[in-house]
Structure 1
Amino acid sequence: MPPVINGSTISLAPIIEEEDAESREADLVMKKLKSVLYRGVERYLTCENVILPRNTLRRAALDILDLSSRHSSGLRGTLIDLYLEDNGRSKRLAQVVADPRRTPKTFIELTLYRDPASDDRTLQLHSSYAIKRLCKP
């Protein structure tokens, strides 16, 4: 939505509202990713702690929103597979479906990388990640 121009003043309220909505949506995606990451680690690994760089999931959430917005079904038609790569081996930790009532049209693979400095008790993740989008017609 463009800014509203009244005479010689410009209102940025519509722009701020759009940014706030995107920020809230990114926060929801980030919280969901964090939740499934911890449940996946708890289920499949024997780590007691997980250390994740501060903005990694936030950046990944924004990338997911960007990739899912490129398809007409948007985020609600997106399925996200969360992987952990450790020493060249990849393990699927979780799957996130935004709307289980919809058939997914966009598939996103998010791969997080284990930091070699991790030990058996603490899973330390890199700040980098890989993300890949696959679409069905």
Structure 2
Amino acid sequence: MPPVSRNSRLSLSSIREEEDAESAEAKLVMRKLNSVLYRGVERYLTYDAFLVPRNTLHRAAHDVLRQCSDRPHGLHSALVELYLSDGHSSKRLAQMVADPRQEVKTVIKLTLHQDHASDPTTLHLQSSYTMERHCLQ
């Protein structure tokens, strides 16, 4: 959100519209992260289900948007790679591309961390994650 100064011509309605648009974009990124996480767990792991703390993907989506905000073409030129870490090693589960027609200029490595709960049939994830950004150009 841009800063508001005395001489600014921004109205409260334009600020709210900008926040709503940002929130809508974050929701789309969050849904996409959830979708690729589900497919990655289903494809590469042997768990029957997975549990993610409520706001983890929401925070991750906002962080992805923040990491892309100062890059050329923003999220449209970003590739998000989703990894799962068990504490000893990391496994690549999936990748997310916002716009496949754009050349990738930013790679974001999002690593979710496994919580070693006692249930062997369900993957439990911690609320913490690690995010790294690599700029290609």
TM-score under structure 2 normalisation?
0.91
2:119 partner SS: coil
The match for 2:27 is 27
Q: Distance in 2 between matches of 1:23 and 1:58?
A: 10
CA contact (8 A) 1:2 1:14 kept: no
Give me the identity figure in percent. 58
Q: Distance in 1 between matches of 2:32 and 2:20?
A: 18
Matched, 1:48 2:45: no
Cα distance, 1:123 vs structure 2: 0.3
CA-atom RMSD, angstroms? 1.6
2:103 partner SS: coil
Matched, 1:67 2:63: no
Counterpart mapping for 1:106-121 below 5 A: 106-121=106-121
Unpaired stretches in structure 2, ≥5 consecutive residues: none
Counterpart mapping for 1:2-13 below 5 A: 11-13=11-13
Structure 1 runs (4+) greater than 6 angstroms displaced: none
Deviations, residues 60-97 of structure 1 (Å, cap 9, x unaligned): 00000000111022100000000000131100000111
Q: Which has the higher strand share?
A: 1
Q: Distance in 2 between matches of 1:58 and 1:87?
A: 23
Count the aligned residue pairs.
132
The match for 2:102 is 102
Q: Distance in 2 between matches of 1:108 and 1:114?
A: 19
Cα distance, 1:2 vs structure 2: 7.0
The match for 1:88 is 88
Cα distance, 1:11 vs structure 2: 4.3
Q: Distance in 2 between matches of 1:84 and 1:29?
A: 18
Tell me whether 111-120 or 90-99 shows the greater mean CA deviation: 111-120
TM-score under structure 1 normalisation?
0.91
Q: Distance in 1 between matches of 2:118 and 2:106?
A: 33
Change (3 A) 1:40 1:29: same
Unpaired stretches in structure 1, ≥5 consecutive residues: none
Deviations, residues 80-122 of structure 1 (Å, cap 9, x unaligned): 0000001311000001111111110000000000001153200
User: Which amino acid in structure 2 is aligned with residue 39 of structure 1?
Assistant: R
1:104 partner SS: coil
User: Which amino acid in structure 2 is aligned with residue 16 of structure 1?
Assistant: R
Q: Distance in 1 between matches of 2:52 and 2:31?
A: 13
User: Which amino acid in structure 1 is aligned with residue 122 of structure 2?
Assistant: T
Q: Distance in 1 between matches of 2:48 and 2:77?
A: 34
2:134 partner SS: strand
